Amino acid sequence: MKKIYFVLPLICALFLIAFLPLEKPMDELSIGAKAPMADVEVTDVSGEKLTLNDVARKNGLLVNFSCNTCPWVEAWEDRYNPIAKLAKENGIGIIALNPNAGYRNKGESLKDMKERANQSDYQFYYALDKGAKIAKVFGATRTPHIFLFNSDMELVYRGAIDDNAKNADKVEQPYLKNAIKDLVMGNQINPQTTKSLGCTIKWPR
């Protein structure tokens, strides 16, 4: 009986360890911080290799940590292309990065991403964040999770797209759109941070 009492907790502990992700995010990137790993190559669904610096335009860069399998992404996805259009019109580059390294065989592979991009007619880069390394140094925790940088690649806004994932027509606070407009107009962005709502990133094991 004593052996059972000893072995059972050990088995439970090993089970828990086996299902814990090996990677965990760092603290969220602070407002004013430079974009980390901006010169690290990622692979877009087109097969093109590029860096965040390559994608950035004269007024900055928008990074969206996104994925294929999250209901929150599906809820906000109808706003992706309009936001991309607004960003491009205002001289801001845009890229979505898929950090779900723990689910590459569960709908989050580069092949799956390409199918999603074609199906949804993405008008922006959609690239694989291999090993979720960029997400980790950004402190990203969810999909979607937004990071907006100015022309000096300094973070000016971080968080959610807006305040209503379910219904675009009922949005009262279009946080990201306002941040983009304020950035290019030279106005103070307010708020600079909002809570990111979404599915937790599936970190590599």
> Tell me: the pLDDT tens digits for 160-170?
999 999 999 99
- Show the domain range for 129: 23-200
Indicate the number of domains in the chain: 1
pTM for the whole thing?
0.88
State the pLDDT at residue 25.
59
Which stretches within 77-171 are classed as H helix? 80-89, 110-119, 133-138
pLDDT at 48: 98
- The answer as to whether 3 is a domain residue is no
Within-domain flag for 2: no
Residues 118-151: tens digit of each pLDDT: 999 999 999 999 999 999 999 999 999 999 999 9
The yes-or-no verdict on residue 57 having pLDDT over 60 is yes
**Least trusted range by pLDDT, from 10-19, 118-127, 159-168, 183-192:** 10-19
Determine, yes or no, domain membership for 7. Answer: no
pLDDT at 5 over 60: no
For residue 177, being part of any structural domain is answered with yes
Assign residue 158 the CATH number of its domain. 3.40.30.10
Closest CA relative to residue 202, chosen from 64, 127, 107, 119:
107
Q: Is residue 36 part of a domain?
A: yes
What strands lie across the sheet with 60-65, from one edge to the other? 49-50, 42-44, 125-128, 92-98, 60-65, 145-149, 155-159
Average pLDDT over residues 1-21: 43
CB neighbour list of residue 128: distance below 8 Å, 6 or more residues apart:
42, 43, 97, 98, 110, 113
The answer as to whether 4 is a domain residue is no
Instruction: Give the mean pLDDT of 46-71.
Output: 99
Task: Please compute Rg for the chain using Cα positions.
Answer: 19
pLDDT interval class at 18 (50, 70, 90): very low
When mean pLDDT is compared across 22-26, 103-107, 130-134, 148-152, the lowest value belongs to: 22-26
